[in-house]
Amino acid sequence: MYDGDIASVLITEQEISDKVTELAKQVAADHPEGDSDLVLITVLKGAVMFMADLARALPVPVQLEFMAVSSYGSSTSSSGVVRILKDLDRDIADRNVVIVEDIIDSGLTLSWLLKNLQSRKPRSLQVCTLLRKPDAVKVEVPVKYVGFDIPNEFVVGYGLDYAERYRDLPYIGTLDPKVYSN
Ligand code: XMP
Ligand code: MG
């Protein structure tokens, strides 16, 4: 599949699986089963695989919510101005919430999302990301759970895409430059 498009495997399927188990333990330790279920919020589409695996690894009941957002074009995406294309189906007031992210790069989208969700008065709000790039450390976005810190390279697989392709790869890898130049 995708013959010759992947330059290198950065994180194997086994490494992802082990990390998901570890992250699930951390999240569960902070969120014991209580009077209401933990809510996992995923922003479509990159974190869908991660959310599906994390939800099944968590030993506490969770409810799944999805959002779809779009940045106002490339010039304003850096300003973190975001438009909601699909909002949550349910109120999160007084609920324990974990945002499930695929990757944090500049952190601007996440920073906007945290503000937006915080205004809905959840009981608690944390972020769990599978991947984090070096720039993310510069911004003040509180991220409690991080899977892997990776180099500043474009990666695909396990939900992450290039032009909507490669999301279905079971591992995370770097793209061969020939793919960009096609
Ligand atoms: P910010 O800069 O707001 O961006 O933290 C996070 C979003 O940027 C995309 N992104 C990537 N997508 N491979 C991808 O497939 C990458 O290496 C990558 N780096 C950033 C992604 O949509 C993420 O949610
Ligand atoms: Mg993408």
Beta strands across the sheet bearing 145-149: 82-86, 62-71, 38-43, 96-104, 124-132, 145-149
pLDDT band, very low/low/confident/very high, at 76 (cuts 50, 70, 90): very low
Distance of alpha carbon 45 from alpha carbon 149, whole angstroms = 21
Q: Is the pLDDT of residue 84 over 80?
A: yes
Q: Is the pLDDT of residue 77 over 60?
A: no
Nearest protein CA to atom 23 of ligand 1, as residue: 103
Mean local confidence (pLDDT), 139-160: 93
Rounded to the nearest integer, the mean pLDDT of the chain is 92
* Listed residue (51, 75, 54, 53) closest to 65, CA to CA: 51
pLDDT given at position 80: 67
For residue 134, the CA-to-ligand 1 centroid distance in Å is: 12
CA distances from 150 to 56, 65, 91, 165 (A): 25, 27, 34, 21
Nearest protein CA to atom 2 of ligand 1, as residue: 106
Mean local confidence (pLDDT), 48-73: 93
Ligand 1 atom with the smallest distance to the CA of 160 is 15
Q: For domain 13-150, give the CATH number.
A: 3.40.50.2020
35 neighbors 149 (Cβ within 8 angstroms): no
Residues contacting ligand 1 via CB (< 6 Å)? 46, 102-110, 154-156, 160-161
* Better-predicted residue by pLDDT, 5 or 72: 5
Tokens 């392709």 found at: 165
Mean local confidence (pLDDT), 20-30: 98
Measured over the CA atoms of residue 36, residue 17, residue 19 and residue 148, the dihedral's sign is negative
* Residue ranges covered by each domain of the chain: 13-150
Give the whole-number percent of the chain exceeding pLDDT 70.
95
Convert the pLDDT of each residue in 101-139 to its tens digit. Answer: 999 998 888 999 999 999 999 999 999 999 999 887 777
Contacts of 114 (CB under 8 A, 6+ apart): 99, 125, 127, 141, 142
For residue 10, the CA-to-ligand 1 centroid distance in Å is: 16
Q: What is the DSSP string of 121-179?
A: --SEEEEEEEEE-GGGGTS-----EEEEE--SS-EEBTTB-BTTBSTT-SSEEEEPHHH
Count Cα neighbours of 3 within 13 Å in the Cβ-side half-sphere: 0
Count Cα neighbours of 121 within 13 Å in the Cβ-side half-sphere: 2
List the catalytic residues: 105
